[in-house]
Amino acid sequence: MKSLVYQDLKGRPIYLTEEFDFFQESLLELLRQPFREGEDLSLDAPKQEELQLFVQKQLYYQVPKWLKMQEKYYEQGKNLLDLNWNKSYWSPPGLNLLTFDFSDDTPESFFQVDTPLEKYYHSFYESFQLQEHEKLHTPSFYAIIKDKNKVKNGEWNGKKT
């Protein structure tokens, strides 16, 4: 079973692989593992080399997806190629770290997921903005970090204390 699925800007996935024996272990326990308190599963984020060169090539060959992103940056008076390309751009599926700031960008929806993912995406994106992701964690980790940062900044439930 694959868990902790993340993808880079090229669409390549990375994930943890768990082996499971149907006759020896509980499938439900395995599925709950990423969401258990106190159990921090993590994945080392591979170094992404020549990411800026990749984006330059996509723009040069006029790939529509990348031209639309560049258009959004131009509308904001920015340039896609001016971003910090030393950062690791791994993200959960459905979250585009390059266009998340733009309000008209709607995240992908998933068939089997009924819960809205916006809260998780916001927590992940805030963590991404503050630091480099050398390790990728479970969704609960990013929610905990977000809450700790709010308390540290004197804010709780969206209000200053």
118 contacts 107 by C-beta, under 8 angstroms? yes
The per-residue pLDDT of the chain, averaged, comes to 79
Percent of the chain with pLDDT over 90: 25
Of 124 and 153, the structure prediction assigns the larger pLDDT to: 124
| DSSP conformation class of 106 | P
Q: Which pLDDT value is given to residue 43?
A: 81
Q: Which pLDDT value is given to residue 54?
A: 96
Q: Which pLDDT value is given to residue 64?
A: 97
- Is the pLDDT confidence value at 107 over 50? yes
Q: Following CA atoms 64, 70, 76, 79 in sequence, which dihedral angle do they give, to the nearest 10 degrees?
A: 180
